[in-house]
Amino acid sequence: MARPLTLLLVRHGQSEWNAAGLMQGQTPHVPLTELGHAQAAAAAAELAGLRPGALLSSDLLRAVQTAEHCARATGLTLETAPALREQGYGVLEGRPSRELWDVVDWTDPYWSAPGGESLTELHARVEAFLKHLCAEPPADVIALVTHGDTIRAAQAVAAGLGPDAMPVVTPHNGTVTRLEICE
What is the chain's length? 183
Distance CA 9, CA 142 (A): 8
Four-CA torsion 38, 77, 156, 85, nearest 10 degrees: 80
Write the DSSP assignment of 92-126 as a string of letters: GTTSBGGGTTTT--TT-TT---TTB--HHHHHHHH
29 part of the active site: no
12 part of the active site: yes
Active-site residue (options: 68, 86, 93, 117): 86
| DSSP H or E run through 172 | none
Across 32-80, the runs of DSSP E, i.e. the strands, are 54-57, 78-80
Active-site residue (options: 12, 37, 69, 147): 12
| Helix (H) and strand (E) counts in the chain | 5, 5
Residues labelled catalytic: 12, 86
